[in-house]
Structure 1
């Protein structure tokens, strides 16, 4: 949210929002690059499936920390400095993976990646919207969404293909990302700054999270839907290689990357559907589609079927995207202007807890039950949560946005 003493200026006749969306996508791409590589790291370093999920989960810790501490820093410092900082953190993360000699650097790389994603989530979206002319605001909103989810999906697709068909499987993906980050930094330097201070700069303070009383009735079910949907994304991002390899017998890293990509691509498509169905319908409908996707994922584990898993990934991704964007729209519309930024940050915090905490539980269960049974327990619990939330949203939909 822009402060009262902050003015925006949009450059005339410069398609800057498309370039900003490209920068956003490149930054987010790095956060999921390690996904198809976890099996290789396990064999090289030697650790359990639980450690894989913990390595993944520390990323969410970085995201949440950045959201709570620096969620509105770009409103004070400007978009370009914060974007450059986010890209620098992503580059440091890539360097950690290039120098990887053990778990400490893997943890450091994931935390730095989380910091970068936390800064990009708000600043990247704001930059895309700031640079769009008024008549293209809707298109810019979708561009920001597509850059976020598309970047997350492209990470495993790129690294899986490079690791399977090119040399240096644990190095080349991060070298490629460093080159992309260099290009993105040049683009940021060429973009116009959209934030200009009309007075003295206020001090930088942690934003924190706050849910005003008048929003809590909408916030609770919407954030729980986001929690459940992001837990599905976390499952595919952190444990998909183990599911595919140990349960379905699929060890081609390019296929692993493509399966994870399909979830994020479907999420983008689901978010695009919001304009057709409206927020009040999209929330329970998204939950219903997400339940169907979770049931298909569970069935794929029982049947050991890759095609069923792929259909479940696409179905669940569409439901997640539809419910997530509708929930974010409902929460941001219900929040008062003075607390909208903090309320949206709180919504993302709940979502990112969902992408990490349940996945660590799956990793812990996998140590004793095995990957297949742990996945079945996860899909059962997540299905129950989504069904309850969907029922609540069907009976008491949020007010129109």
Structure 2
């Protein structure tokens, strides 16, 4: 469908179906949701050849568009990555159902017994770029938390997302849940994004998953509430009391394991004391691994860093690097250039680590660990919709629990207010 005039009515129709499905999901049993996710996992694995064939179409489209190697890596699906999606679906299926959980309860002096109970949000719109696995992750987490979801994948992953979505629908059907619980927008037309952002009657919250351009567009134009997922300008600070081998291992992994994900390190900060002792060992290791190091004058690098290299999300085999004068200088740099996503410190000094953790307010802070662990699956959530960098409602990896709201259940015994 390419007719702009038809986009609005299509989103309205999809939204109405999602709202109806959400009413059913709100009271669906934990067993039904678990069965649907396990059946979807079975379908994904059974249909892996079909999914890979669809992905080849998307890879050809991406190459034609001139996507970078890192973006092509984000787009690519193979047997191992499909197995990862299958494992993620099963992990989410096996989690405790958050709906109905009593998060807190107490009794007032007047005898009123009050419970705060987790409830689904309703209908969630997820707008994402490139990575087709988000189709499975978002569908699974929304279903687990009792929400209907409307998925709008990137144009690059159009065929892959459709093949994955068909498996999720098969899972819903096998468990007797509404097939409209997980819907995929069937067009590449960007007008669908605008229509979703205005659909206040049908969508309760929008979750953008993508680069700065997409998130900025969503935040500017959305009339529906948004879970902010900003770019991942992740820093690794190597303190003067860092262990050399730990520092080398973490820095290399944080940058090179997968450069196209939001948890990839984009800036290396080296304490002057560490540099005085160990020299350029870290930047040399990065360059030997094929990374372009954009370094300040104090460090050996591939090229000289420019001012706008700091605070940039490269999503590629590129890193900015700078010498800083202690943890306070590192903290000041991260406050100025970071995106409140994920920042790491490498140190054996407990007091310095505590200062780093206390003074920074990133959604995720790490010590002696790679920023590539900034992932809901690695946090035990099975999967994630993304890393929320805002401060309201959800923050950090957004899993099933973070996709719930709550209501208060109040019980009295003929209790009246004086």
The alignment's TM-score, normalised by the length of structure 1, stands at 0.26
More helix by share: 1
More strand by share: 2
Q: Which has the higher contact order (CA 8 A, sep 6+)?
A: 1
The alignment's TM-score, normalised by the length of structure 2, stands at 0.25
